[in-house]
Amino acid sequence: ETGVTQTPRHLVMGMTNKKSLKCEQHLGHNAMYWYKQSAKKPLELMFVYNFKEQTENNSVPSRFSPECPNSSHLFLHLHTLQPEDSALYLCASSRGYEQYFGPGTRLTVT
């Protein structure tokens, strides 16, 4: 257990659905991150929040919409996704340089 939880762990959704991924950390960290991990590819940083403010958006399509209501919670809202968006979505948090990862949400878009 790293202190970072993610729900759901698995999600199957159609291309017209709207769903949300949730991440929660109880470590008192100020920064939270969303990553996408596709098979045999390096992790792709999607979004970074620092003290609830978005500090990074790595050219992520608008069908992914992050929300950070407070420094302990992070959401990723999904709508009209494409099959190529199927991947493992990882949340992480940090205070300094070391990031703590959640277990990820395995997303399948049909």
Partner 1 sequence: KNEVEQSPQNLTAQEGEFITINCSYSVGISALHWLQQHPGGGIVSLFMLSSGKKKHGRLIATINIQEKHSSLHITASHPRDSAVYICAVRSRSNYQLIWGAGTKLIIKP
Residue nearer to partner 1 on the CB measure, 45 or 79: 45
Structure tokens at 23: 């991440």
**Residue number with CB closer to partner 1 (75 or 100):** 100
Give the residue carrying structure tokens 């069908």: 63
Residue in 102, 90, 95 with CA at minimum distance from that of residue 29: 95
- How far is C-alpha 94 from the chain's CA centre? 14
The smaller minimum CB distance to partner 1, of residues 19 and 79, is found at 19
- Minimum gap (Å) between residue 32 Cβ and partner 1: 14
Question: For residues 14 and 42, what is the distance between their CA atoms, to the nearest angstrom?
Answer: 26
* 66, HSE (Cβ side, Cα atoms, 13 Å): 27
For partner 1, the binding residues (CB under 8 A) are: 2, 40-43, 45, 88, 90, 92, 97-104, 106
CB of 47 to partner 1, least distance (A): 13
Q: How far is the CB of 18 from partner 1 (least distance, A)?
A: 23
